[in-house]
Structure 1
Amino acid sequence: MTILHIVSWRLAATDPAEKAEHAAQMVARLGGLVGVIEEIRSLRIGPDVVGGANWDIALVAEYDDEAALARYQVHPAHVEAGAYVKSVTAERMAVDLVV
C-alpha cells in the first residue's frame, strides 16, 4: 500500500514579492526534508503557475503506509518546517489517498 499525501495552501501575504518569498521558503524548507526524513518516498512541491482562484502552493508526497505518514508528521524536522508554513499561510487543505 502507498499513501499519497496531497496538501495545498493559500498564503496570507497579499504583496506579490512577499508571497513569492514565502512560497520560495516553503519550497526550500519542505523540499529539504527529502533525505532527512527517511519515511518520504517522494515529494514534489511548488507554487501555482496559473493563478486566479487556484491555491498558492501544492505538495504531493508518497509514503509506504499510514504509519510512515504519521512518523513524518511528528518528525522534528517536519515540525520545524511546519511552524514556518503555519506562520505564512492563511488556509490549508489536505487529502490522503491509498494508491
Structure 2
Amino acid sequence: MIRHVVAWKLAAEDEEGRVAAAAAIQAALAPLPAIIPEIKTFSIGPNVAYADKNWDICLVADYDDLDGLETYQVHPEHLKAVDIVKPLVSARASVDFEL
C-alpha cells in the first residue's frame, strides 16, 4: 500500500482568504474517492494548530500500489481539481511512502 501525503501553503495573505481557499481546495478534491476507484482511503482538511509554523491544508490518501497512485494522478477529474488548486497555493510539498 502507498500513502500519498500532500501539504499546501495557501497564497492568500489574510485569514478570510485562507479559509475560503482551503474550503475551495477541499471541495475540489473531496469528491474524488467516489469517482476514482484506486483511492482506498482519503482525508483532507485545513490546519487547526500552530498556524505560524504549519502548512495550511493537507491531504492523505492510500492506494494499493504505485500504479494506483499514478492512475489517480492522471485521472481527468483529478486534473480538473488540480486546475482549481494551483492558483490558490504558493507552495506544495508531498511524500509518497509504502505502508
Q: Which bracket does the TM-score occupy, shorter chain normalised? A: over 0.9
CA–CA distance in structure 2, aligned partners of residues 66 and 7 of structure 1:
16
Q: Secondary structure at 1:53's aligned position in 2?
A: coil
Report the equivalent of 1:76: 76
Q: Secondary structure at 1:7's aligned position in 2?
A: strand
Report the equivalent of 2:21: 22
What displacement does 1:40 show? 0.4
The two structures, once aligned, show a CA RMSD in angstroms of 0.6
Matched ranges for 1:14-93 at <5 A: 14-50=13-49, 51-93=51-93
| Structure 1 consecutive aligned stretches of length 4 or more whose deviation exceeds 2 Å | none
State TM-score, norm by structure 1: 0.96
What displacement does 1:32 show? 1.1
Q: Secondary structure at 1:34's aligned position in 2?
A: helix
In structure 1, runs of 5+ residues without a counterpart are none
Report the equivalent of 1:4: 3
What displacement does 1:83 show? 1.0
Q: When the two structures are aligned, how many residues end up with a matched partner? A: 98
Q: Secondary structure at 2:33's aligned position in 1?
A: coil
Report the equivalent of 1:94: 94
